[in-house]
Amino acid sequence: MAAVNHEVEHLIEIRNIGKDYQSGDEMVPAIRQMDFAIDDGEFVTIMGHSGSGKSTLLSVLGGLNHPSRGKVFIDSLDLYDLSSEQRADFRSEYIGIIFQSFQLITYLTVLENVILPMAITGLKRKEKEQMAMDVLLKVGLASKADRLPDQLSGGEQERVAIARAIVNQPPILLADEPTGNLDSETASEVMELLTRLNREEGLTIIMVTHNPEISVYSNRTIRVQDGTCLEH
Ligand SMILES: Nc1ncnc2c1ncn2[C@@H]1O[C@H](COP(=O)(O)OP(=O)(O)O)[C@@H](O)[C@H]1O
Ligand SMILES: [Mg+2]
């Protein structure tokens, strides 16, 4: 792969990022200007009101949304200098993503949902099942591996989404409002799981939320407003 910049010192760096969406005749500036760096092992919250650009930022960081301006470096690699195929390969190895709606496949069992991202690994079926069971054990759902997603509670579905995001053992986890649909008790269980993955496994986590109560679990908060960062 080309696109390595040896001057990049942090696991994740964004430089002068901007993102405009075309909406009819109008350009919507979802990200006006953002710059920050995140180190290996950090647990960072991106906090801001609805419409401030959080989901856009997360999808740009995740290699899913080409910025209009600026650069994203992950492990010194210029993410958007890669071809879309190279970027997809890089993403499946490096970045786990939990979307705002869990996006579980409703007609597949919990186990099958967790096995899905391993399609690219070339592992044998038995090995994939074993790895999926290991990660389901880690999130406390091994006994529900054969259920369908709609036979689970919201918190359990969230944990399946987490299991699916980390099954390929990526160093980075991105989570968009992971507790947005959960009651506060279930939300703290999910946050404790994320905290444990960060502390015990060294997973670097970037989590988006609009809820200040959720940000206390992380080590650092980056506040966003109208497409810019207020502090970090
Ligand atoms: N695909 C899109 N097309 C046009 N505008 C969009 C699109 N996605 C988001 N936006 C707009 O960009 C701004 C930021 O949105 P978003 O990143 O979803 O914010 P947040 O996640 O903080 O609520 C909002 O004004 C939103 O309406
Ligand atoms: Mg959002």
Residue with CA nearest ligand 1 atom 20: 51
Using most ligand atoms within 8 A of CB, pick from 28, 49, 209, 211 the residue to mutate for ligand 1: 28
| CA atoms of 117 and 125, how far apart (whole Å) | 13
Which ligand 1 atom is nearest residue 48's CA?
22
Atom of ligand 1 nearest to the CA of 208: 21
Q: Is the CB of 54 under 6 A from ligand 1?
A: yes
* Contact between residue 109 and residue 34 where contact means Cβ atoms under 8 Å apart: no
Task: Kindly report the CATH number that applies to the domain delimited by 12-103+149-231.
Answer: 3.40.50.300
Please determine, for residue 32, whether its predicted confidence score (pLDDT) is greater than 90.
yes
Name the more confident of 183 and 113: 113
Q: What amino acid is encoded at 218 in this protein?
A: S
**Ligand 1 pocket, residue 142 CB under 6 Å:** no
Tokens representing 208 are: 């988006």
Output the pLDDT for position 203. Answer: 96
Dist. CA 115–CA 145, nearest whole Å: 11
The tens digit of pLDDT for each residue in 61-104 reads 999 999 999 999 999 999 999 999 999 999 989 999 998 887 89
Task: Write the DSSP assignment of 2-18 as a string of letters.
Answer: --B-TT--SSEEEEEEE
Please indicate whether residue 28, judged by its CB atom, sits closer than 6 Å to ligand 1. yes
| Coil, helix or strand at residue 101 | coil
Average pLDDT, the chain: 93
Q: What is the 210 CA–ligand 2 centroid distance (Å)?
A: 9
Non-local (6+) Cβ contacts of 152 within 8 A are: 110, 144, 160
| Separation between Cα atoms, residue 105 and residue 119, nearest integer Å | 15
Cβ(55) – ligand 1 distance below 6 Å: yes
pTM beyond 0.85, yes or no: yes
Residues with a beta carbon under 5 angstroms from ion ligand 2: 55
Q: How far apart are CA 208 and CA 98, in angstroms?
A: 10
Q: Using a 6 Å cutoff on CB, does residue 53 contact ligand 1?
A: yes
Tell me which residue has tokens 């301006």: 69
In angstroms, rounded to a whole number, what is the distance separating the alpha carbons of residues 86 and 232?
31
Q: Give mean pLDDT, residues 192-206.
A: 95
Q: What's the rounded mean pLDDT across residues 104-116?
A: 96
Residue 33 confidence (pLDDT) above 90: yes
Classify burial at 175, counting beta carbons within 10 Å of its beta carbon; exposed 0-12, middle 13-18, buried 19 or more: buried
- Report residue 140's pLDDT band, with 50, 70 and 90 as the boundaries: very high
Q: Name the band, by pLDDT with cuts 50, 70 and 90, for residue 57.
A: very high
Q: Is the CB of 48 under 6 A from ligand 1?
A: yes
Q: Quick one: pLDDT band at residue 122, thresholds 50, 70, 90?
A: confident
